[in-house]
């Protein structure tokens, strides 16, 4: 199957694109876009991969589901388009960055600036029906994103994997802690942010690790 995705990722994920689950997933997603409102826009489904070639990635942040409100989702986990109000989890992420690094709260919640520096902002599920959280879970996306994480964990070294909340931690449980830095904490959502997200210092820890391994730090 000819999937429109950045070339290095196309090479990495090519075996997945021929598997029965992916063919079935493609059929389901096409039908959903034809028959109802789905986010993100179709051309941005693989935005996280397209902005972050395989060999340029330094950090992986794992989310769960795209935002399901109008104009929010654009293919990067936790990120929203310019001009869109910050969802609560993103507000808390920016608060932790301010507390950890002293950076002011930005005016835009568009995290393309992170992706351009090698931060893969990967949701486990890449599409969602409008106003129906989790509506495209268990349709096949999780297998594809598992394969992507597996490829990075096995073929690259000294990456930082950031796992917020139980879902992301389960998805990244297999990552070799001797080969990569794995940072885990509570999720930044208002329900759990005070149970260990605030004060986790993941942004400074990420940069210290990158510098220690000869990489430039991320401008958060």
CA distance linking residue 181 with residue 85, whole number of Å: 32
Phi/psi for 141 (5° steps) reads -60, -40
Of residues 62, 49, 50, 32, the one with CA closest to residue 127: 32
Is 176 a residue of the active site? no
Task: Classify burial at 136, counting beta carbons within 10 Å of its beta carbon; exposed 0-12, middle 13-18, buried 19 or more.
Answer: buried
CA distance linking residue 144 with residue 21, whole number of Å: 9
Which stretches of 40-143 are assigned E, i.e. beta strand?
59-63, 119-123, 128-129
Q: Digits of tens for pLDDT over the chain (220 positions)?
A: 889 999 999 999 999 999 999 999 999 999 999 999 999 999 999 999 999 999 999 999 999 999 999 999 999 999 999 999 999 999 999 999 999 999 999 999 999 999 999 999 999 999 999 999 999 999 999 999 999 999 999 999 999 999 999 999 999 999 999 999 999 999 999 999 999 999 999 999 999 999 999 999 999 9
Please check whether residue 42 is in contact with residue 27, taking contact to mean a CB–CB distance below 8 angstroms.
Answer: no
Residues 6+ apart with CB under 8 A from 185: 163, 164, 196, 197, 200, 202
Which residue among the candidates 65, 82, 100, 146 is catalytic per the annotation?
65
CA distance linking residue 72 with residue 110, whole number of Å: 10
pLDDT at residue number 102: 98
Which stretches of 104-214 are assigned E, i.e. beta strand?
119-123, 128-129, 160-164, 181-185
């Amino acid at each position: 199957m000819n999937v429109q995705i950045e070339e290095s990722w196309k090479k990495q994920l090519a075996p997945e694109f021929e598997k029965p689950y992916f063919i079935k997933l493609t059929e389901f997603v096409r039908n959903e876009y034809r028959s109802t409102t789905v986010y993100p826009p179709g051309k941005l489904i693989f935005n996280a991969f397209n902005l972050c070639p395989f060999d340029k990635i330094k950090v992986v942040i794992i989310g769960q589901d795209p935002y399901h409100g109008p104009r929010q989702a654009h293919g990067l986990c936790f990120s929203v388009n310019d001009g869109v109000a910050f969802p609560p989890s993103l507000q808390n992420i920016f608060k932790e960055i301010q507390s950890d690094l002293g950076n002011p709260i930005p005016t835009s919640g568009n995290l393309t600036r992170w992706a351009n520096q090698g931060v893969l902002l990967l949701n486990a599920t890449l599409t969602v029906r409008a106003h129906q959280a989790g509506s495209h879970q268990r349709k096949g996306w999780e297998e594809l994103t598992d394969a992507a994480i597996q490829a990075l964990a096995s073929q690259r070294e000294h990456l930082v994997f950031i796992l917020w909340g139980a879902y992301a931690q389960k998805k990244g449980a297999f990552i070799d802690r001797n080969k990569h830095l794995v940072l885990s904490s509570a999720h930044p959502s208002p329900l759990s942010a005070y149970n260990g997200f605030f004060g986790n210092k993941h942004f400074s820890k990420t940069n210290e690790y990158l510098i220690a391994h000869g990489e430039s730090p991320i401008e958060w």
